[in-house]
Amino acid sequence: MLRVLVFTRQLEMFPTLLVLLSAATFGCALHLPIGPEFLLKKGPINNRIAGGKYTQIEAIPWQVSLQILGWHHCGGVIYSKNIIITAAHCVHNNDSKLLDSEFFDVRVGSSTSKNGGSVIKVAKITVHDRYVNINNQKTEYDIALLLLSSPLEMGPAVKAIPLADSVPNDGAAVLVSGWGRTETEPVARYLKSVYVNIVNREQCDRVVLIKATICTASPWKGACAKDSGGPLTYNGTLVGIAVLASKICGDNTLPNVYTDVVELRKWIEEEAKKLS
């Protein structure tokens, strides 16, 4: 009973209904006016991940579902057999209080967020010491590492992904994936993915003004609520962690924002060693 009461107090600032057990929708939104360089030809909004397609987990075996009480909460990425990378805001409530690790599980090796694969408890959480969240509209150094209570059993549907050495060139096609909101579902039943394009760093900085981030923009394609914490990949390497999506998911006039894994690579490697 005490554990339930503590959990309820930690979640009391969350905007989502606990009766739905969604446990704090961290669908961060960054709604910013941007210049003509981002204005792409408009098109119809497809199912989210916006404009994406259903994808088998074997094609993205490093993708995981970070869950609370058995419900998909955020995405995550397999770094090693016992370390998961996700977004820092995924492990905080809206009052910027860090939640206890005991409330989190990770589902791996499944194309669905609700069943299949394996579910492992989170034993410990490490958040970047420079992480900042301002009213869920701006986050900096939005990254966290999760230590699993037991090591993963690697296989075709469960694999670690190497960290990228450099950010892809402007315009490069990169892959984002997750179980984020769709037109008909608050959480997608099946894993989806879509290719988006890297935005020029200077243009990204002028619009977003957030440290340690990269941006993508593509016509009616991108991340949505509950895709946060998931991977942005290029040629089988991890480039970014999804942290901010436009309010209108897939809105082609607004960039999606990701924590820059390349810039924070040293922090990831050092903290992972400490946790392990």
Residues that are catalytic: 89, 142, 228
Separation CA 45–CA 219 (nearest Å): 9
Count the helices and strands in the chain (H runs, E runs): 3, 15
SS3 214: strand
By CB atoms closer than 10 A (0-12, 13-18, 19+), residue 27 is buried
- Greatest C-alpha distance within the chain: 55
Half-sphere exposure of 132 (CA within 13 A, CB side): 9
CA 156 to chain centre: 22
Is the bond into 49 cis (omega within 30 degrees of 0)? yes
Supply the DSSP string of 8-64, one letter for each residue: HHHTTT-SS-GGGT-------B------GGG--------STTBT-EE--GGGSTTEE
* 196 backbone φψ class: left, alpha, beta (φ>0; ψ -120 to 50): beta
Task: Report yes or no: 118 and 94 within 8 Å, Cβ to Cβ.
Answer: no
Task: Report the candidate in 183, 174, 172 with the shortest Cα–Cα distance to residue 250.
Answer: 183
Separation CA 208–CA 160 (nearest Å): 30
